[in-house]
Amino acid sequence: MEGFLNLNKPKGMTSHDCVGRIRRLLRIKRVGHGGTLDPAATGVLPIAIGKATRLLQYMRSDKAYCATVRFGVTTTTDDLEGEIVTSAPAFSLKREQVEETLPQFLGKIQQVPPAYSAIQVNGTRLYELARAGEAVEVPARQVEVRDIEVLGWRAGDFPEIDLAIACGPGTYIRAIARDIGARVQTGATLARLTRTASSGFHLEDSLTFADVETQLQQGEFQLIPPATALAHLNAVTLNREEARRWCQGQQLRLGDRSILTPPLQVYREDGRFLGIGQINPGETPSVLRPKMVFHPGS
C-alpha cells in the first residue's frame, strides 16, 4: 500500500494524532503528513502512506487558507487557544482601514513567528520555551504571501474579517493576524483557520475520518497515486530494459528526452511508478541517475 490521502483534519486533533489514527485504520505503520496544522485548525492535511512517505519532500509547497481575524483582542499564542493578553472593544474600526493594510503583507515579507510555535531556537522549540516562561527574541524570517482576498466583514465591539490567503511554506497565518492588528492599532488574533489547499490537494476533494472508515467498510477506499501528487514534476518513461537497469542503480543516457527539469518522476512504459530521478542541468548528453528507487526489482 503506497500513495496519498487528502485528509480533512478535524478541529482539536494534532497532525500527529491524525497520523496515528490513520495508522490504526489502515493497519500500516509507515504513515507521515505533509505540513503541520495547529490543533484548532481544520482542513487539508496531506497524508503519505507506505513508501510514499519518502515523496513528501518532492510535493508542492504552496498552501491556501481561509482565516478569520478578530480585532480588539491579543493572546499569548496569536489565536484563541492562548491566554488573553489585551482586550478592548474596537467598534470604531472600519473594513476599509483593514483593507488598506493588506498590501503590506503581500510578496516576500519578513515575519516573526508566534512565540508558541514549533520553530527551534538553540535546539529547543519555541513553544517549550514559552511554556517554561522564558523570554526569547524570536528571529524574523522571510516568507512569501502570494494573495490575500477579503471574503467578509462583521462589525461590532470585536469586529472580524474573513480572508483567503495563498502563501508559501513556513508562513504563519497567526502571525499575519497579529501583525494586521498591530497595523490598525487595535490588536488582533486568529479566531478560525481552515486550510483549503496544500501540496496540490484541495478541501473539496478531501476525506473526513468518517469518509475513510465508510470507504474501508465498503471496500471502496483507494489511495491517491504518486503521479497525482507529483504532477507538477516532469516525468520520463523508460522501456522495460531501461527500467530494469535504472532500478538496479545504473545511469541512463536520455538522448532526445533530455529537455527536462529535475527532479523527475520515473515510470516504466506500462505506467508503473519507479521512483525519482536526477539529471544535471546543462550536462550533454543528459544522464538519468537514480535518486529514489521504489521498486528495485523492476
The catalytically annotated residue of 17, 38, 205, 270 is: 38
C-beta separation of 261 from 234 below 8 A: yes
The Cα-based distances of 276 to 153, 264, 282, 291 in angstroms read 46, 6, 19, 6
Distance spanning both ends of the chain, measured CA to CA: 17
Q: 113: helix, coil or strand?
A: coil
Rounded-to-integer distance, Cα 294 and Cα 214, Å:
30
Rounded-to-integer distance, Cα 171 and Cα 156, Å:
29
To which H or E segment does residue 130 belong? helix 126-131
Rounded-to-integer distance, Cα 76 and Cα 115, Å:
8
Q: Are strands 273-278 and 141-154 parallel, antiparallel or unpaired?
A: unpaired
Q: How many residues does the chain have?
A: 298
Q: Please enumerate in sequence order all residues whose Cβ is within 8 A of that of 90, keeping only pairs 6 or more positions apart, or say none.
A: 71, 72, 157, 158, 159, 186, 187
Question: Cell for 258?
Answer: 533530455
To which H or E segment does residue 290 belong? strand 287-293
257-269 in b/e form (b: 16+ CB < 10 A) is beebebbbbbbbe
C-beta separation of 113 from 174 below 8 A: no
- Catalytic, 38? Answer yes
List, by residue number, the catalytic residues. 38
